[in-house]
């Protein structure tokens, strides 16, 4: 690990808005109460990286609690540091593998989930690693409250097509979809929030896909 990565990794250990691995276990079923000290809804940003969605949505929606989830501590550092510096108290970060989601969130604890620019894992042999494969969808379905919304933003046309097909095959309800968000009537202030990776794709003229659904 490089010096800067190591420094950030060490520093997040002292951040009051970051939970690493087992530290987060005690909050299962009680994130709103135990971390945020309220009973407001909890929204997740999965594969949050630097947490642009979690932090910017927290600023825009003070009556919602946001939690960014990623396993890379040096990326989470950015969002957590910004939130501390700007006193955005309704956002926290959890450094875990998303595979472990059910260990950290209780059934129906989450009102909405955003997945922002996940690694597309294009090789068929890695399908299980895709964050919209069946094994992940089953976990989201458990932690989401009834009727809770899912959102996916991706530059990857293959992952977008795969997810549309998967949801259709499963009989889930697609609420909104576009393969060109920035030229779509769906665009709103929330969807205009840009992540670190998204900005890179936009600079080279890549179309951005957006998909939203509810589970049956
Ligand atoms: C391409 S980056 C996108 C980061 C950010 N959302 C953005 O758009 O800038 C994908 C992120 O997903 C995280 N990630 C991938 N698989 C994961 C998993 N199984 N559990 C937790 N994080 C994961 C990686 O650490 C990485 O930060």
- Give the mean pLDDT per block of 10 residues along the chain (216 residues): 86 96 97 98 98 98 98 97 98 98 98 98 95 98 98 98 98 98 98 98 98 98
Tell me the CA–centroid distance for residue 31 and ligand 1, in Å. 22
Whole-number pLDDT of residue 212 = 98
Tell me the CA–centroid distance for residue 125 and ligand 1, in Å. 19
Q: How many C-beta atoms surround the C-beta of residue 157 within 10 A?
A: 13
Of 151, 139, 126, which is closest to residue 210 (Cα–Cα)?
151
Tell me the CA–centroid distance for residue 48 and ligand 1, in Å. 6
| E strand residue ranges, 71-186 | 91-95, 110-116, 144-154, 173-178
Q: Which atom of ligand 1 is nearest to the CA of 116?
A: 6
Whole-number pLDDT of residue 5 = 86
Task: Name the strand (E) or helix (H) holding 214.
Answer: strand 209-214
Whole-number pLDDT of residue 201 = 98
Whole-number pLDDT of residue 43 = 98
pTM for this prediction: 0.97
Give the integer Cα–Cα distance in Å for 156 and 160.
Answer: 6
Residues forming the active site: 119
Of 155, 136, 159, which is closest to residue 215 (Cα–Cα)?
136
Q: Which atom of ligand 1 is nearest to the CA of 99?
A: 19
Tell me the CA–centroid distance for residue 72 and ligand 1, in Å. 8
Q: Which residues form the pocket of ligand 1, taking CB atoms under 6 Å from any ligand atom? A: 47-50, 70-72, 75, 97-99, 116-119, 195-198
Best of 5, 8, 71 for a ligand 1 pocket test (most atoms within 8 Å of beta carbon): 71
Whole-number pLDDT of residue 92 = 98
102 and 69 Cβ atoms separated by less than 8 Å? no
Whole-number pLDDT of residue 28 = 98
Best of 19, 21, 48, 49 for a ligand 1 pocket test (most atoms within 8 Å of beta carbon): 49
């Amino acid at each position: 690990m490089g010096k800067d990565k190591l420094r950030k990794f060490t520093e997040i250990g002292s951040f009051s808005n970051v939970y690493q691995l087992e530290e987060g276990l005690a909050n299962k079923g009680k994130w709103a109460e135990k971390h945020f000290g309220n009973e407001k809804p909890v929204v997740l940003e999965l594969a949050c990286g630097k947490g642009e969605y979690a932090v910017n949505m927290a600023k825009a929606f003070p009556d919602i609690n946001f939690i960014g989830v990623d396993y890379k501590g040096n990326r989470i550092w950015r969002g957590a540091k910004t939130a501390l510096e700007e006193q955005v108290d309704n956002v926290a970060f959890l450094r875990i593998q998303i595979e472990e989601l059910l260990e950290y969130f209780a059934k129906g604890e989450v009102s909405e989930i955003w997945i922002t620019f996940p690694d597309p894992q294009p090789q068929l042999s890695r399908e299980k690693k895709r964050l919209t494969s069946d094994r992940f969808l089953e976990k989201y379905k458990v932690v989401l409250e009834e009727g809770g919304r899912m959102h996916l933003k991706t530059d990857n046309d293959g992952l977008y097509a795969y997810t549309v097909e998967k949801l259709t095959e499963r009989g889930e309800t697609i609420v909104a979809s576009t393969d060109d968000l920035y030229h779509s009537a769906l665009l709103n202030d929330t969807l205009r929030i840009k992540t670190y990776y998204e900005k890179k794709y936009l600079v080279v003229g890549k179309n951005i896909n957006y998909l939203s659904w509810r589970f049956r």
